Amino acid sequence: MGIIPLLIPVVAALLLSFRLLFFSAKSETAFKVLGAYFLLLTLVLFATLLQYQRNFFPEINSIKPIYTIVFYGSILSLAPTGYFYIASLTDRINKYKKVDRVIPHYIIPVILLLVNIFSYMYFGLESQPNESTSELVRKVTYFSNFVALVYLFPSLSLFYVYKSFRIYFYHKKRIQQVFSYQEGVHLKWMLVFLIGYVFYVISFIILEPDSSPYFVYVPMLMYVIFIGFMGSKQRKVSIDKAITDSGNVLVENESKNTAIDQEKRTQLKHEITSYLEINEPYLDSQLTVYQLAKMVGTNSSYLSVVLNSDFEMNFTSFINSYRIKKAKALLISEESKNYTIEAIGHMSGFKSKSAFNRWFKEFTGETPSVYKRKLTAS
């Protein structure tokens, strides 16, 4: 296989990197971090390509020290950069606003980079290097790179993938307590990104350096294009912004203590059900727990306690239970004959037909179409 086809994933990663870093109309941190991730991936792929091609072009060996410098620092930076990308899709990134919180994550890659730079400069600048010193430098460099590739890269990947999955599951739990919908906020994209990275790490570990490029670069091309296309569309989902948009900041800060006595819980439970039945706020497809808390005159912490303890539901399930009741009433009514299933879903407060079908089946065991057909038959 010629070098040109093998350059395709390298060029694709480079173009995506520059697009996200310098030419993206969106200035969100997530796009910049993803751009940095693709830049590192470009360097790793290019160095790997040179390593493969040196078997056919021996002259490449003359620049091996240069691409070695690039390769080891870049590959050890992939995992923390991927983690920061995941964090940048949520409010977790706020923890890393200060540079001193970010730097520690790149200490190991920087140390390895410096070791290889020192080795390169030592052998490049010393006209008559001392034999014993030269041997020591070679051994230290070789040992450092060996440990980095065989132990540090898998270990760092495992560590940061674990931390990233924690962010994902925490976010998943939070949105069920905050939003009455999942469209645009569920961030399942995180899962896809992480699984893709895990497959990349596994393939890198199990494949030999001289493996056929068909098994290396074709999957990488698919990975780069898919991650680049999907990642360029995914925006940050901020729960903190949902608080601000609701105008509920002061209420949220009234009490960090979520303890609430039984009498107050009973009263709040009555107020919640009364407000929902009379005012039907669940018909707003973008309703959040902060907005409902403000409507009822409490804070989201107390509201969540009542929903979780007394109704035994998270916020998403609770609100959608009312939407399903509304949908069932509409399906029974005569006017429903004039509306499609999708229209009834929107009238009930659902953002999409798929969400309506999913939640209707969750609560009734059948789809809206089947439910309506049974009503018509009876």
Q: Considering the entire predicted model, what is its pTM?
A: 0.84
The CB density around residue 94, as the number of other CB atoms within 10 Å, is: 11
126 pLDDT tier (thresholds 50, 70, 90)? low
| Phi, psi angles (nearest 5°) of residue 145 | -70, -40
86: helix, coil or strand? helix
Q: What is the rounded average pLDDT of the residues 213-232?
A: 73
> Which amino acid, one-letter code, is at 219?
P
Tokens of 93: 């990134």
pLDDT at residue 212 is higher than 80: no
Q: What is the rounded average pLDDT of the residues 290-315?
A: 91
Q: What is the rounded average pLDDT of the residues 211-227?
A: 70
Where are the domains positioned within the chain? 3-236, 242-377
* One CATH from 1.20.1070, 1.10.101, 2.30.30, 3.40.1010 for 3-236: 1.20.1070
pLDDT value of position 210 = 58
pLDDT value of position 252 = 45
Distance (Å) of CA 360 to CA 12, 37, 307, 332: 43, 40, 20, 14
pLDDT value of position 255 = 44
pLDDT value of position 189 = 83
Strands (E), the chain: none
Is the Cβ–Cβ distance between 70 and 47 less than 8 Å? yes
Residue that is written with structure tokens 């599951």 in the block: 169
pLDDT value of position 113 = 93
pLDDT at residue 115 is higher than 60: yes
User: Does 3-236 match 242-377 in CATH topology?
Assistant: no
Spacing of C-alpha 121 from chain mean position: 39
Per-residue pLDDT tens over the stretch 158-185: 999 999 999 999 988 888 888 888 877 7
CATH class of 242-377: mainly alpha
Per-residue pLDDT tens over the stretch 31-51: 899 999 999 999 988 888 777
Distance (Å) of CA 67 to CA 70, 128, 154, 221: 5, 24, 21, 21
| Calpha distance 281→285 (Å, rounded) | 9
Residue that is written with structure tokens 């879903």 in the block: 345
DSSP structural state of residue 148:
I
pLDDT value of position 357 = 93
Per-residue pLDDT tens over the stretch 183-199: 777 788 888 899 888 98
237 vs 160 pLDDT, higher one:
160
Mean pLDDT across the chain: 84
Distance (Å) of CA 299 to CA 131, 222, 250: 73, 47, 9
pLDDT at residue 232 is higher than 80: no
DSSP tally for the chain: helices H, then strands E: 18, 0
